[in-house]
Amino acid sequence: MKRKIQEKRASERFEIDGLVKCSHTKSKDAINGIIINCSEGGICFKTSFKFQPGTVIFLCDIEDNNYFRAEVKWCRKYADTDSDQFLIGAEYCDPSLNNDQRKK
């Protein structure tokens, strides 16, 4: 008998085809990432850098240059390739703030 897997997420996930820059600070030396999916509370993206869980990072939407703070919740080796790519799951730190408040 198959059992339905219970999702732990509070918000629906949406598949997004986009790019994101990520770093420990609002730096021009950010690492490029590819967004896999996102929700109201967090994001999953693929990158070549292995961020440790608990790390607070800055994510920059490449299209509109808006920054978001997020805490890395998990990091896994990306299984679909032989290259050193990682899937990162992160939860937004201040999802209720609008972008003007985040930039302060």
What are the pLDDT digits (tens) for 47-58? 999 999 999 999
Reported pTM: 0.76
Q: Which residues contact 95 (CB under 8 A, 6 or more apart)?
A: 40, 41
18 or 28, higher pLDDT: 18
- Please state, rounded to an integer, the average pLDDT across all residues of the chain: 80
pLDDT exceeding 70 applies to what percent of the chain? Answer: 75
The answer to whether residue 81 scores a pLDDT higher than 90 is: no
d(CA 68, CA 99): 8
Task: Kindly give the residue spans of alpha helices, DSSP state H, lying in 17-104.
Answer: 99-102
Checking if the pLDDT of 98 tops 70, the result is no
Domain annotation for the chain: domains and CATH numbers: 14-102 (2.40.10.220)
Q: How far apart are CA 98 and CA 82, in angstroms?
A: 39
